[in-house]
């Protein structure tokens, strides 16, 4: 009876190591929620601005660095979610499912989404 009390309740939680696929899967879900939420906020903002007028809104919103940083991360979440979705579509065909290909495509998705986002913002500003 004493031995049963000393055993951990969930031993798999103490020995489990989060892999790259699990981490990117969680990130994919988070970026999908961020993209969806930011789209709702953007539509709400456009509706609000259509009633009060668009005068001087660019000077107000584009002059703030916090808004630019938020928009940078929102656009990164969009590009990451898009590229990771393409990777999942490739997996649905049965291609690139071995561990080596998964790690390589994970690196490609993260780095390419960051590169596309930096390129997007360098041409935008």
Task: Let me know if residue 4 belongs to a domain.
Answer: no
Query: 30-57: per-residue pLDDT in tens?
Result: 999 999 999 999 898 888 877 777 666 6
- Answer yes or no: are the C-beta atoms of 111 and 82 closer than 8 Å: no
What are the C-alpha distances in Å from 90 to residues 55, 85, 86, 93?
A: 45, 9, 6, 5
In this structure, is residue 16 part of a structural domain? no
Place of tokens 């656009």: 75
Sign for the CA dihedral angle at 38, 41, 46, 47 comes to positive
pTM: 0.78
**With contact defined as beta carbons under 8 Å apart, do 74 and 35 qualify?**
yes
Residue 38 lies in a domain: yes
Tokens standing for residue 22: 């699990």
CATH number at 54 reads 1.20.1300.10
Number of domains in the chain: 1
- Tokens 């899967």 appear where? 25
C-alpha 106/C-alpha 49 separation (Å) is: 39
Task: State pLDDT tens for residues 83-122.
Answer: 999 999 999 999 988 989 999 999 999 999 999 999 999 9
- Euclidean distance between CA atoms 10 and 39, whole angstroms: 40
* Domain coverage including residue 114: 23-124
């Amino acid at each position: 009876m004493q031995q049963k009390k000393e055993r951990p309740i969930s031993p798999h939680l103490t020995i489990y190591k989060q892999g790259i696929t699990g981490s990117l899967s969680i990130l994919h879900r988070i970026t999908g929620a961020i993209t969806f939420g930011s789209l709702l906020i953007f539509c709400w903002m456009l509706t609000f601005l259509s009633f009060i007028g668009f005068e001087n809104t660019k000077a107000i919103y584009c002059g703030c660095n916090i808004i630019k940083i938020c928009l940078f991360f929102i656009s990164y979440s969009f590009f990451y979610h898009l590229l990771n979705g393409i990777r999942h579509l490739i997996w649905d065909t049965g291609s690139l499912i071995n561990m080596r290909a998964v790690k390589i495509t994970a690196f490609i998705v993260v780095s390419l989404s960051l590169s596309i986002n930096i390129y997007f913002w360098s041409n935008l500003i």
